[in-house]
Amino acid sequence: MAKKESTLLQLVITLTLIAVTAGVALAAVYALTKDPIEAAQQQKKKDAINQVLPNFQGELKECTCTVEGDKDPVKVNLAYQDGQCCGAAVETYTNKAFSGRFDIMVGLDAEGKVLGTAVLKHSETPGLGAKITDSESHFIQQFVGMNPAANPLKVKKDGGEVDAITAATISSRAFCDAVNRAVAAFNQVKEENHE
């Protein structure tokens, strides 16, 4: 009986040491990777802003707002040139995608027309819904110049003007949802700031 208790005690001590060692190792890896991951995310955001606001040389003022009916906030980077608001880079999202949420950056001019879009994060199906990331595709390019404030974006199957990605209508609808949310957030922030 004493041998069995001794073996059980050794097992508990061994498992405890393994758990503590694994915990320390995970904490060390987290500490080492936290700053580089954060820096990479900030660089990706900066690159996306440069992509959706081409040739912009002014100042950005970051605001956060929650669009009516939503629970998650949207980040609106108001773009100022010579003291005047000339548009925004809006970090928006949708929860209506095929594989859950994805985040995009939408560039808008002062009237709310789309200047460009850039996908920040997604988990759509490779080869289908993931085509939303192809900046050279017709799908992405068709948004440039559209004014969702005047006519909310919808895919043609829903009575809108947007050509959906073949075999990825859900992803296409979700992309439209994210762009419409960006415009709603931009208009809300402009009104709050009396632009």
Q: Is there a domain that residue 46 lies in?
A: no
Q: What is the pLDDT of residue 16?
A: 94
Query: Does a structural domain hold residue 13?
Result: no
**What is the pLDDT averaged over residues 38-63?**
82
Whether 28 is covered by a domain: the verdict is no
Range of the domain at 61: 53-192
Helix (H, G, I), strand (E, B) or coil at 67: coil
pLDDT value of residue 181: 92
pLDDT at 186: 92
Asked if the structure places residue 23 within a domain, the reply is no
pLDDT tens for residues 97-118? 666 778 889 999 988 899 988 8
Q: Indicate the range of 44-48, 69-73, 190-194 predicted with least confidence.
A: 190-194
Stated pTM of the model: 0.74
Give a yes or no: residue 151 inside a domain: yes
Domain count, the chain: 1
What residues contact residue 175 under an 8 Å CB cut-off, 6+ apart? 94, 104, 117, 132, 139
Q: Which residue has the tokens 């061994």?
A: 14
Residue 136 covered by a domain:
yes
